[in-house]
Structure 1
Amino acid sequence: MEKKIIEFLPGFNCGRCGFGACTDFAEAIQVKPSSLDLCPFLTQERFIANKIEIERLAMGEPNGCQKKTVGVIDAYEADIVLDPLKGEISCREVLMPMALVNLQIGEVIEYRPLGCPIVHYGNVIKIDHLLVTVHLIGPCRRRESETKFTPVGCCMVIAFEGRFHGKNVKVGETVRFLPKHCMMQKVHSGVVVKIEDENVLIEGIDLKVWQPPVVCSMK
């Protein structure tokens, strides 16, 4: 366990945590997980994902970076998985409807994301000019359901927002991600535009997932 924790520490051996080396600090984290807050670097944006993984290890949870997450439809491997924000029921989807519609917060809408064959039902939680943010409440409406909804037709999914786990991601990086609520379990791609703690905002959403670039080594 200690060796796994060391892998996610910055490795600067700066001593600012009060320990002589990161190896000593890793041992202290095993005994007292709250010691993690002593490292000044783990609060920086570039190490946020590392901090999350160390917390999981210290609490005895499985390491999300060690487990591969693969989409069911086309078997692409995801860099990260998106969970709902704390206290919410699904990842947030930011939509741009293809038609002009007058919506209200709290309203349930029926829509189909561009490129997705499945009709979605979402609860409107935010409206910003032409952009509508929703929580998903289901892929299909049961006949016996009395839930009223407004059909809005096809929508472009502009962004996803949620809590992430998996590899360490950076602002500006293109990532492959799996929204946990996705009915098709299909890996999406997009650009990370904001990270706060374990929350991430990904824009430029695309259902087409490209292979990562080939890195050529110079001999």
Structure 2
Amino acid sequence: MEKKMIEFLPGFNCGRCGFGSCAEFAEVIQTKSESIDLCPFLTQERFTSNKIEIERLATSRLNGCQKKIVGVIDSYEADIILDPLKGEISCREVLMPMALVELRIGEVIEYRPLGCPIVHYGKVIKIDHLLVTVHLIGPCRRRESETKFTPVGCCMVIAFEGRYHGRNIKVGETVRFLPKHCMMQKVHSGVVVKIEDENILIEGIDLKVWQPPVVHAIK
């Protein structure tokens, strides 16, 4: 969304809006449509159509953020939903098995993520030393066939990778997210370490999710 708004800004990077560049200004007006008037050029007649388009994009962004993303099992509110990368069947999970096992690309493994009561089945797509990256294929899909699998026991989930949608987030931020393939529809938490367009990598995964503190008004 930010890139689209930048296309309609004057692009002078003059700083008269109070921000260092048009790119920084675009990031602000994604969530605060009233900030559009901070740009003195958008009030000029030659930029009228630009301002209208920016207002439309900002309104669309705000409307999209109004819908809450809530986990089913614990009713926690998430910041984003995590979808599979384009052309893939599920979000990528990066695992660290707690037992030493020799695996191969394409092999199906049976494992239980630490802290999760449900046994998972994943197809190995990458191996990097002790870390194993998988696509989820079960349990439901595995039961529909007679796919052979290798049991690896309990695993720590190190990272998730996929496409996200929800509120605007930044690298280094701790976020609450809902993996679309999660069978319990439980909100997870982790730290954003990489964002490229709509693709995101989240590490430091935890199933313990702390709700934001409730701020009571002082009477």
**TM-score (normalised: structure 1):** 0.74
How far apart, CA to CA, are the structure 1 residues paired with 2:215 and 2:195? 26
Three-state SS of the structure 1 residue aligned to 2:118 is: coil
Deviation sequence 1:62-82 (CA, Å, 0-9, x none): 954121011111110000000
SS at match of 1:25: helix
Deviation at 1:13, TM superposition (A): 2.7
Distance in 1, matches of 2:217 and 2:129, equals 48
- Aligned residue number for residue 13 of structure 1: 39
2:39 partner amino acid: N
Partners in 1 of 2:161 and 2:137 — Cα distance? 16
SS of structure 2 residue aligned to 1:82 = strand
Structure 2 residues without counterparts, runs of 5 or longer = 6-28
Q: How far apart are the structure 2 equivalents of 1:193 and 1:76?
A: 23
User: For structure 1, which segment, 63-72 or 199-208, has the greater mean C-alpha deviation from structure 2 after superposition?
Assistant: 63-72
Distance of 2:207 and 2:165 partners within structure 1: 20
Residues in 2 aligned to 1:19 and 1:155: alpha-carbon distance in whole angstroms: 60
* Distance across 2 between alignment mates of 1:200 and 1:114: 22
2:153, 2:199 → 1: CA distance?
Answer: 29
- What SS does the corresponding residue of 1:125 show, helix, strand or coil? strand
Q: Counterpart in 1 of 2:163?
A: 163
Contact 1:65/1:165 (<8 A) preserved: no
Letter matched to residue 66 of structure 1: Q
The equivalent residue for 1:113 is: 113
| Distance in 1 between residues matched to 2:59 and 2:82, nearest whole Å | 16
Matched residue SS, 1:75: coil
Q: Shift in Å at residue 20 of structure 1?
A: 5.7
Query: 2:94 corresponds to which letter in structure 1?
Result: V
Q: How many angstroms does 1:26 deviate by?
A: 4.7
Q: Which residue of 2 aligns with 1:25?
A: 50
Unmatched 5+ stretches in structure 1 = 32-53
Identify the residue that residue 129 of structure 2 maps to in structure 1: 129
Q: Match for 1:77: what amino acid?
A: E
Aligned residues: 187
Which residue of the partner structure matches residue 138 of structure 2? 138
CA pair 151-185 structure 1, distance change in 2 beyond 3 A: same
Q: Which amino acid is 1:25 matched to?
A: N
Structure showing greater Rg: 2
Give the helix-richer structure, 1 or 2. 2
CA contact (8 A) 2:81 2:166 kept: yes
What pairs up with 1:55-74 in 2 under 5 angstroms? 57=60, 63-74=63-74
**How many Å apart are 1:25 and its aligned residue?**
2.1
Cα distance change, pair 132–14 in 1 and its aligned pair in 2 (3 A): farther
Distance 1:117 1:179 in 2: 16
Match in the other structure for 2:183: 183
Q: CA deviation at 1:146?
A: 1.7
What SS does the aligned partner of 1:186 have?
coil
| Equivalent residue number for residue 203 of structure 1 | 203
CA distance in 1, matches of 2:153, 2:70: 30
Aligned-residue identity in percent? 78
- Displacement of 1:211 after TM fit? 1.8
